[in-house]
Structure 1
Amino acid sequence: MIPVPRAPAADDRVLGGAVPGNTSRYGAALADVVDGARHWPQWYTLGNLDIWLRFRRTGLGPLWTTLSFSLMAIALGVVYARVLGEGMRTYLPYVVTGLFVWNFVAATCQEACEAFVDSRHILKQLYLPRMTVIYRTLWRNIVLLGFNSVTVIAVIMLCRVPVSSSILLALAGFVLLCVNLLWLSLLLSIAATRLRAVSRVVATGMPIALFITPLIWRPNADSPRILTDWNPLYYAIEQVRGPLLGAPPAPWIWAASAGCALIGSVVALLVFGATRHRIPYWL
């Protein structure tokens, strides 16, 4: 009797399972996070390519994003300054810097929902650290944020906002914001890959969050405390907007944002470890 050769077992790395060996799923998830960061030329190049493909043959290229953001922010600032009885010189920078951060957060969260789905052809056929897709999404939006910063700088200069050394804290706030967006994007990507309706929920919820977060209106003694003290979106915006306007946020905002980064990162790592090997099959 001629023995029939067995088909070779599929490479676990190709299918996206745990790293071969005795590494646990959670250890493999942590290794994926580190490995994805080490492969920065991949997501750096792919993120830049995404921007080029999105704006090819549009004339102005990514500057369309700057133009769209400028028109929306200035229009809201001018209109609501009259409605709320605010001085244009102080209110316009407040709105523009707030929307500057908000657009970055909203775009990253919405695009993260489709991150794994849009990369399904790659993830199904070859091994790639899953976090490479998340880094790619975040980097793409950081580049677009850089284009929008032109509007923020122009408004700060035209409105003669005092610039002090506290503006350097905006960089620290931005780094902390990126850490929070990283774990949040990972969770949203996993959830939206398993349940496609999650992306619809996020797209519906972001405009609502825009109006309940102190972006257009200023918090005061009569404002509901739940919209400031218990609103992570307020922490994310204020830790960048405050230093840009020469008013560093209170220490409790930094502490709350850092706490969100720590707890969220742990939760995201646990969820990633439990679901990482299933992502290719959900696609």
Structure 2
Amino acid sequence: MSPGETPAAQEKLAEDTAGSAEVEPIASDSQTFQRAFKDFRVGFGQRELWLSLGWQDIKQRYRRSVLGPFWITIATGVQAAAIGLLYAALLNQPIKDYLPYVAVGIIVWNVINASILEGSDVFIANEGLIKQLPSALSVHVYRLVWRQLLFFAHNMLIYLVVLIAFGVWEKLHWTAIFAIPALGLLFLNAMWVSIVFGIFSTRYRDIAPILGSLTLMLFVLTPVMWNTKSLESQGGQVSERAKLAEIIPTFHYLEIIRAPLLGDDQHLYHWAIVGAITVVGWLVAIFAMKQFRSRVPYWV
């Protein structure tokens, strides 16, 4: 007891101290929507970092190569030509129409495939940076999507060749401009796919091999190598077998991009389905970032 301080004064001081501790509790905001949105905002603000890292990934992959990143274009072009020529003969399809169809399909499919497979590994592959570099978690997602955008840009050289060599430009009309927002939707979906699969694959390592088998199955079921027109009935009506292809979500992503690029008719319901998947996917991604963002560095 301090000199001149009564027991009553000490008791009052103790009550005031306890009250102030109750008024200002220490609460963590690591699992809030505010922190999740802040991660996206801060990550986008660090674009010099992920732009540089994404471009460095491509340079590193083709280091000491004479053609460099253009090996991406050559490999995809050879694959499209081989599949196009083979299946045009097997399905009795005219090469002039079928090969451009397959070429654009493979170019778009490569983005979808990489978004799922590389997206599931996005945080595991960047374990060192996550633990040592003080940056937003979304930086690694931006880096992945930027890298896939660069790959896509290289592969579009194949489309330009097809456009001229097979006379596709003659069928194009003003609706070809819809390919631009369609591509925007594709890469917007690539982001939420990388976030959701990346987070849960980091926690449960069995998810990545499952996704590997799933993407192979989707490639077979999605009209990349085959055309739904070949399933139409003789009367020109779409058969029940052709309608089964619409159950596969990736089919709609292909159609909103491939149709305008080839001058084919476009259907609004493809856009509606892709839009609905985009909204639902981003809601799941935002919730996953809110709930598990702070745990990823401990899981990797």
- TM-score over 0.5 for the alignment? yes
Do 2:31 and 2:291's aligned partners in 1 also have CA atoms closer than 8 Å? no
**Alignment of 1:175 onto 2:176:** no
Do 2:131 and 2:297's aligned partners in 1 also have CA atoms closer than 8 Å? yes
CA distance in structure 2 between the aligned counterparts of 1:135 and 1:54, rounded to whole angstroms: 19
Counterpart of 1:103, as a letter, is: N
**Alignment of 1:191 onto 2:208:** no
1:221-275 Cα offsets, whole Å, 9 max, x none, are 23252321x2210111111101001124211111111111111101110111110
Unaligned 5+ segments in structure 1 are 1-19
> In structure 1, what is the equivalent of residue 244 of structure 2?
226
> In structure 1, what is the equivalent of residue 272 of structure 2?
255
Offset at residue 21 of structure 1 (A):
7.2
Matched position secondary structure for 2:227: coil
> In structure 2, what is the equivalent of residue 7 of structure 1?
none
Do 1:169 and 1:248's aligned partners in 2 also have CA atoms closer than 8 Å? no
1:163 to 172, 176, 186: 172
Counterpart of 2:179, as a letter, is: A
Root mean square deviation, CA, Å:
1.5
**TM-aligned CA distance change 1:159 to 1:167, over 3 Å:** same
Do 1:239 and 1:248's aligned partners in 2 also have CA atoms closer than 8 Å? no
**Alignment of 1:148 onto 2:155:** yes
Matched position secondary structure for 2:269: helix
Counterpart of 2:187, as a letter, is: C
> In structure 2, what is the equivalent of residue 264 of structure 1?
281
> In structure 2, what is the equivalent of residue 14 of structure 1?
none
Matched position secondary structure for 1:61: coil
Matched position secondary structure for 2:132: coil
1:244 to 236, 261, 271: 261
**Alignment of 1:106 onto 2:113:** yes
1:121 to 101, 124, 128: 128
Structure 1 stretches (4+) deviating beyond 4 angstroms?
A: 20-24
CA distance in structure 2 between the aligned counterparts of 1:96 and 1:150, rounded to whole angstroms: 11
Structure of greater Rg: 2
**What is the aligned length?**
263
> In structure 1, what is the equivalent of residue 219 of structure 2?
210
> In structure 1, what is the equivalent of residue 8 of structure 2?
none
> In structure 1, what is the equivalent of residue 296 of structure 2?
279
Matched position secondary structure for 1:118: coil
CA distance in structure 1 between the aligned counterparts of 2:265 and 2:200, rounded to whole angstroms: 35
**Alignment of 1:136 onto 2:154:** no
Offset at residue 23 of structure 1 (A):
7.4
Unaligned 5+ segments in structure 2 are 1-26, 233-237
Offset at residue 163 of structure 1 (A):
2.2
> In structure 2, what is the equivalent of residue 82 of structure 1?
89
> In structure 2, what is the equivalent of residue 31 of structure 1?
38
